[in-house]
Structure 1
Amino acid sequence: MKRIAIFVNTPAQLHFYRNIAKRLEQKGNQVNMLFRDYGETLRLAQEFGFNPLIFSKQRPTSLQKMIFFPVDIMRSVRIFRGQNPDVVTGFGIDSVYASAFAGSKSIVFSDSEPRSHRLLHFQYDLFKPLTDVIITPSSFLDDLGSKHIRVNSYKELAYLHPNCFQPSNDIFDLLGISRNEDFAILRFNAFDAVHDLQVSGFNSEQKVKLVETLDRHAHVFVSAEGSVPKRIEKNVLKIPKRRIHDLLYYAKLFVTDTQTMATEAAILGTPTIRSNNFVDEKREMGNFLELEKKYGLLFSICDRNRAISLAEELIKYDGLKKEWTRRREVLLKDKIDISSFMTWFIENYPESCKEIKSDSKIQFKFR
């Protein structure tokens, strides 16, 4: 039995670790999940049956996040109450520094590349010397050195691989539409994370234009962090947050200025348009390039007005969803079940690390 601590900062990180945590517990390990009180994360954790241990509160500015970082780390160590974990895992700096103070092994999973933002690059510089291993998708373009392990999957397949996720079409009943009616989902980001500094997406005028353009061809539903313009408040979703992936699966089109949900929709076989300032040839991340260039599931467009025009073009195409379903099947044949892989890797660390480094093909038994 291992004592394992998992750090969760966002809903996306919760989704990544929720199946891993449950599988580790089922195998007899002691698992504690430490949460940042951020946005919808705690409510979502409770919906999935977790008892959140809070190590950090939401900070309104990047400066405050940096100032309170040492406080958050020491609170984490106090939560361990002298029973320090054997392994601490998370998406980066919080989990790594907590593991260092606790004398635990550190396993980082990340799909955010240093190239994408200078603050991310700075964070990697701060935690890379202290972690034991960094696991990334194989599409990850940056080289993180001798501690770096690439696996042929995406973060989002930890909860959206067919081994973990089966969609339920009762989502149409929650939306109040029939099963043969088309609908589009729009997701707007708040851009308040540290790595979101100087990054933007759709402005208020463009949000209204996008909704009204697509509304001529299909039902339009909006998911947003924070408020939306009054003219589109009637389009805001009113369904449980945990049902968002059923929604993405059955949508005819997904348009967003977020990162994670763009990948989620694409690997679920839904035509996806991603438009924000992260779209840049010099700093674009490998997972988005692969989803667009290799699998044809995603469009990344920096210009928001061009994105709106493409959205209208796609929503009018009758065979759209069928073609994307075919493309998704190609992707799933290539990729592994990252949830199963991570469960094995964490439970058997450090032997698992030695095995995968000596023979990377071991990962393909986790289909």
Structure 2
Amino acid sequence: MRIIVEMGHPAHVHHFKNMIWELEKKGHHIKICATDKEVTLDLLDAYGFNYSVLGVNSGSGLIGKIPLLIESELKMFKIAKKFKPDLFISKGSPVSAHISSLFRKPSISSNDTEHSTFVDSIVFPFMDTILTPACFKRDLGKKQIRYDGYHELAYLHPKYFTPSPEVLNELGLSEDDTFIILRLVSWAASHDIGHHGIQNKLKFVKELEKYGRVLITSEGQLGPEFEKYKIKVSPEKLHDLLYYATLYVGDGGTTAAESAVLGTPSIYVSSLVGTMGNFIELEEKYGLMFSYSDSKTALEKSIELIKNPHVKTEWGEKREQMLKDKIDVTAFMVGFVIGH
């Protein structure tokens, strides 16, 4: 089978990488189409993937993204005409949805973001199948297939991920050190418009710094006052760092979920609290994360967790219970694609 896999965000590289490798082992031919956004291309290079670039994600707001959408659809049309795919796979991309429809080929969307309603409205009518976690809050109708897992387990399940402490040496840290990963997003994604995360960022960082070293990963540009906190390691090592961190806190939803499934205490700060089923389940069923809409409460909880000397052991036990309940998401995706 010949398959186009589209990636528009660094998290998509992680989500699909093991599926691609497994499919290639079974003799299938994969064509990766990627949008140049943050470290997406760096990750693809680090993992040795060949890919075609659809465009650069430089616009903000819905109107600002229209030129990229047009450019990407034109490029994918040309790629598909030459590659002759049997199937398109993406994480809810209108590009794959529209081009697959033009070529009258089936398309699969992997989705876990309930509040991306506008994009979904121009994607789902053209998609054949929408894969979502079982805890996904919306009913998407007959096209929806639910599975008992999380997107993040496609790459952070112990079967596929073994943390390496070498990243700590690069930053002058040890496994016994207290350090906090802080993730800041740009809020420019279509499903983030009108929402907000951490307020008074510098004050937030200064308070956290009293209890451990703060390392920042950011989607957008930060001012010079944050320069000394920026994580200076290659992007494919971020999950190793998250695994060993004492705490994750930030307005980055993907990183919050990643930290939780890795067994690192995770605090998500966003006005979007309560909208996503995976976050609700990770918090209410497994106690692996906390979600707050205000920065003050989030900071107070952060300090409480950092002060707990047994927090990593406690979270490791919670993680083990979660893993017992969930499926091998990569194996599920591979089986579904082959049988589609």
Q: Which segment is superposed worse, 74-83 or 63-72?
A: 63-72
Q: Distance in 2 between matches of 1:130 and 1:227?
A: 35
Matched, 1:110 2:111: yes
Q: Distance in 2 between matches of 1:208 and 1:30?
A: 47
- The answer for the alignment partner of 2:325 in structure 1 is 334
- The answer for the alignment partner of 1:29 in structure 2 is 28
Matched, 1:83 2:83: yes
- The answer for the alignment partner of 2:96 in structure 1 is 95
- The answer for the alignment partner of 1:355 in structure 2 is none
* CA deviation after TM superposition for structure 1 residue 67, in Å: 4.3
Q: Distance in 1 between matches of 2:50 and 2:11?
A: 17
- Deviations along 1:161-199, one digit per CA (max 9) or x if unpaired, are 011000011222011023321211111111111111112
Aligned runs of 1:121-160 on 2, under 5 Å? 121-160=117-156
Q: TM-score, normalised on structure 1?
A: 0.89
- The answer for the alignment partner of 1:256 in structure 2 is 250
- The answer for the alignment partner of 1:359 in structure 2 is none
SS at 1:211's partner residue?
helix
Q: Distance in 1 between matches of 2:120 and 2:190?
A: 13
- The answer for the alignment partner of 2:204 in structure 1 is 210
- The answer for the alignment partner of 1:360 in structure 2 is none
- The answer for the alignment partner of 1:64 in structure 2 is 64
> Is residue 215–residue 229 contact of structure 2 (8 Å, CA) maintained in 1?
yes
Unaligned runs of 5+ in 1: 350-367
- Deviations along 1:266-325, one digit per CA (max 9) or x if unpaired, are 00000011001111x4xx110010000000001000001111121111111111111000
SS at 2:89's partner residue?
strand
Q: Which amino acid aligns with 2:255?
A: M
Q: Which amino acid aligns with 1:106?
A: S
- The answer for the alignment partner of 1:309 in structure 2 is 300
> Is residue 2–residue 85 contact of structure 2 (8 Å, CA) maintained in 1?
yes
- Deviations along 1:39-62, one digit per CA (max 9) or x if unpaired, are 211111111111220123213122
Q: Which amino acid aligns with 1:241?
A: P
- Deviations along 1:220-253, one digit per CA (max 9) or x if unpaired, are 2111122334333211111111000000000010
Q: Which amino acid aligns with 1:172?
A: L
> Is residue 175–residue 244 contact of structure 2 (8 Å, CA) maintained in 1?
no
Matched, 1:318 2:319: no
Query: Which of 276, 294, 297 lines up with 2:288 in the alignment?
Result: 297
Distance 1:177 1:82, change over 3 A: closer
* CA deviation after TM superposition for structure 1 residue 256, in Å: 0.8
Q: Distance in 2 between matches of 1:59 and 1:210?
A: 28
Q: Distance in 2 between matches of 1:82 and 1:224?
A: 37
- The answer for the alignment partner of 1:18 in structure 2 is 17
SS at 2:323's partner residue?
helix
- The answer for the alignment partner of 2:187 in structure 1 is 191
Q: Which amino acid aligns with 2:269?
A: S
Q: TM-score, normalised on structure 2?
A: 0.96
Q: Distance in 2 between matches of 1:344 and 1:288?
A: 26
Matched, 1:265 2:266: no
* CA deviation after TM superposition for structure 1 residue 107, in Å: 0.8
Distance 1:215 1:122, change over 3 A: closer
Q: Distance in 2 between matches of 1:5 and 1:71?
A: 17
Q: Which amino acid aligns with 2:46?
A: E
Unaligned runs of 5+ in 2: none
- The answer for the alignment partner of 2:39 in structure 1 is 40
Query: Which of 166, 172, 180 lines up with 1:170 in the alignment?
Result: 166
What percent of counterpart residues are identical? 37
Distance 1:74 1:232, change over 3 A: closer
Q: Distance in 2 between matches of 1:277 and 1:149?
A: 28
Matched, 1:247 2:248: no
* CA deviation after TM superposition for structure 1 residue 104, in Å: 1.2
Distance 1:289 1:6, change over 3 A: same
Q: Distance in 1 between matches of 2:238 and 2:68?
A: 32
Q: Distance in 2 between matches of 1:263 and 1:255?
A: 11
Q: Which segment is superposed worse, 184-193 or 63-72?
A: 63-72
| Runs of 4+ residues over 4 Å off in structure 1 | none
Distance 1:83 1:238, change over 3 A: closer
